[in-house]
Amino acid sequence: MGPVSATRIVIVDDHPAIVAGVSAWCGAADPPIEVVDAGPRLAVAVTGPGRDADVVVFDLQLGAGAPAWRELQHLVDDGRRVVVYSQHADTATALHCLDVGAATYLTKAEGADHLVPAIHAVAADRPYTPPALGGAMATDRGAGRPELSDRERSVLLAWFESDSKQLVAKRLHLSVSTVDTYIERVRVKYAGAGRPAGSKAVLVARALQDGLLGLDDL
Amino acid sequence: MGDLPGELVSLRLLRSMRTAALLVTATVAAGLALPKLLAHAAEYWSVPVQAAVLGGFGVVLVVEAALARRGRSWGAAAGPTAVGVLVLGVVATAAVRPAGLFGPAHWSLGLVGWVGVVVLGGAVVATSVFLAAHAVISTAQVVLAGRADTASLSELATVLVGVTSAQLAFCVAGIALRRLAVLAAAAAAEQADLETADRIAQHLHADRDTRYARLRAEAAPLLGALVSGAASPSDVAVQRRCAVAAARLRRMFGEHEDATSAVATEIGALVDIAERRGTAVRYAVRGALLEPPAAARAVLVDEVAAALLATTGPARVTVAGTATSLVVSVVADGAVGADGVRRRGPVEVTTLSAATGTWVEARWDR
């Protein structure tokens, strides 16, 4: 069996401890994840070895001051797959990142369990919704939000509460794969709403192709 | 609500303006008109008529003084009274011999305008109409009295312009004052807002200072022990302590506005207690939280407390607010009761166990 090609990531974060921690998780990941570069500024993701990374793990809070929205926009416009990894735990920030075109949004509190699976999914252009993001979607009352069915909302809420697909499946009398499907559908609905972005279009197109949801669901 | 200070200031200014108008008119009446009336008695057709008109104006001023003291306005009577003043003016002018028209004897020409200002409260449009009517009628009366020559008319125009401009200026000053009043009120409101915000910010800062101090007290010894080697990172107990301290620090750094929801505050306190007992808690709040009634809130908090107290292992606590419900939930390992749904007053509690832990969810629907 030949070597499995590793997913390559670049970490944009201004805390060395975070970089060290994420690198450690990636080192233990299977399939392997290779950290090609890391640094506190956007340059590390657009120049040097970071330029070719499959996924950008991006801290929205680079230094003191306002969140790095312009940098995120730049990465999305460049066609990069961005996993936002942030200490901001508020709904508005998370959903705004999705609207801009980030692939997914993780709070630093859920990194240990969800960052590695998120990187794997995003590298394969598959949607990944960690529990806190699911909670943000389930409680979203902003204007312009997509229409969620009651079932989709309760799946998201249960996922947010339990962080366990087994518990969600048992509670709602569904299979784990059905739970996954519902969560993916909502993610694609969010990709189909709001401002246009290449990354979002890719998600939507793929979902339509796979029959995950139809055009009138968007 | 924000317009109320503006209205109050405006009212005060208006009252001062009223007093000013009254004083000016009274002074003109007593200090200018009355002496003129007495001095030029020969130039009138009828002195009693002149006196009666002046007396009529005096009555109007007295009524205005009484109204002003009570803070009431002329209301619907302003129009008819103004017309009455105009009529009185016509009568007074008619009682002046042609030779004395718009001369020193013609005291009513200026006073009518001031009484009009007093009655109409300085309202620009109404007062302008009144003064224009007065000017037109006076001119007509002068022409009818036979003094239609150019010299007379230009002299009349000068006199009219002279008195009317002062009266109009008074009204314009009123507009400017009202605008100033609005600006002053807005500035006062803004200052009050800033002071409140400042006090709140100071309070929050003091609050944060105490929390930082407490966290420093917890984290600093742990960090010191790690650095000195007294605590080993491979020790599970040390790892747990680090996880708890890290979660608390992370939550503190991630807070933007402090939660104003009573439920979130109380559950946050429970999480705090659990963490100080060494339980690692992952706590997340999402959505705009409704405020349930106190009874429901007590049940929600109670369920979380029971689940948290029953566990020593890691726990996940969430609070989620949708448009119609508030849901709190704890996933932990620790026996809290049998699986199933039970009803505690307005709150529905669902318990579910699986290999990963026991999940207790308490839900309040509006």
Name which of B247, B322, B359 is nearest A162 (Cβ-Cβ).
B359
A111 CB neighbour count, 10 Å cutoff: 18
Chain A contact present for B284, CB below 8 A = yes
Reference B113, options B196, B43, B170, B48; nearest CA is B170
Out of A1-10, A130-139, B123-132, B267-276, pick the least confident.
A1-10
What's the token pair of residue B153?
């008319």
Predicted pLDDT of residue B2: 47
What's the token pair of residue B300?
């929600």
Asked if residue A32 has pLDDT above 80, the reply is yes
Higher pLDDT, B184 or A133: A133
Predicted pLDDT of residue A1: 47
Asked if residue A46 has pLDDT above 90, the reply is yes
Name which of B254, B284, B323 is nearest A87 (Cβ-Cβ).
B254
Query: Which chain A residues are within 8 Å of B339, Cβ to Cβ?
Result: none
Predicted pLDDT of residue A2: 47
The average confidence (pLDDT) of chain A is: 91
Query: Please, how many CA atoms are within 13 Å of residue A121, restricted to the half-sphere of its CB?
Result: 18
Which amino acid, one-letter code, is at B167?
Q
Name which of A88, A89, A135 is nearest B320 (Cβ-Cβ).
A135
Name the residue of chain B whose CA is nearest to A131's CA.
Answer: B284
Predicted pLDDT of residue B145: 84
Residues whose CB falls within 8 Å of the CB of residue B353, separated by 6 or more in sequence, listed in order: B339, B359
Residues whose CB falls within 8 Å of the CB of residue A44, separated by 6 or more in sequence, listed in order: A10, A11, A12, A37, A38, A50
Query: Which chain B residues are within 8 Å of A162, Cβ to Cβ?
Result: 316, 329, 331, 356, 359
* Test the A interface: residue of B286, B318, B361 with most A CBs within 10 Å: B286
Task: Note down pLDDT in tens along chain B; length 366 residues.
Answer: 445 555 666 677 778 888 888 998 999 888 888 888 888 888 888 888 888 888 999 999 999 899 888 878 788 888 898 999 999 989 888 888 888 887 887 888 888 989 888 888 767 888 889 999 999 998 898 888 888 888 888 888 898 898 889 888 888 888 888 788 888 888 888 999 999 999 999 988 998 888 778 778 878 888 999 999 898 888 888 888 888 888 777 766 655 544 568 888 889 888 988 888 888 899 999 998 888 998 899 999 999 998 998 888 899 999 999 989 999 999 998 767 788 999 999 999 999 988 878 999 999 998
What's the token pair of residue B173?
């000053």
Determine the Cα–Cα distance for residues A146 and A143; give it in Å rounded to an integer: 9
Q: Do A163 and B321 touch (CB under 8 A)?
A: no
Residue-wise pLDDT tens digits, A74-88: 999 999 999 999 988
Chain B contact present for A154, CB below 8 A = no
Q: Do A135 and B327 touch (CB under 8 A)?
A: no
With 0-12 / 13-18 / 19 or more C-beta atoms within 10 angstroms meaning exposed / middle / buried, residue B191 is exposed
Asked, as a colleague might, if the bond just before A31 is cis with ω within 30 of 0, I would say: yes
Q: Contact at 8 Å (CB) between B306 and B328?
A: no
Q: Contact at 8 Å (CB) between A60 and A13?
A: no
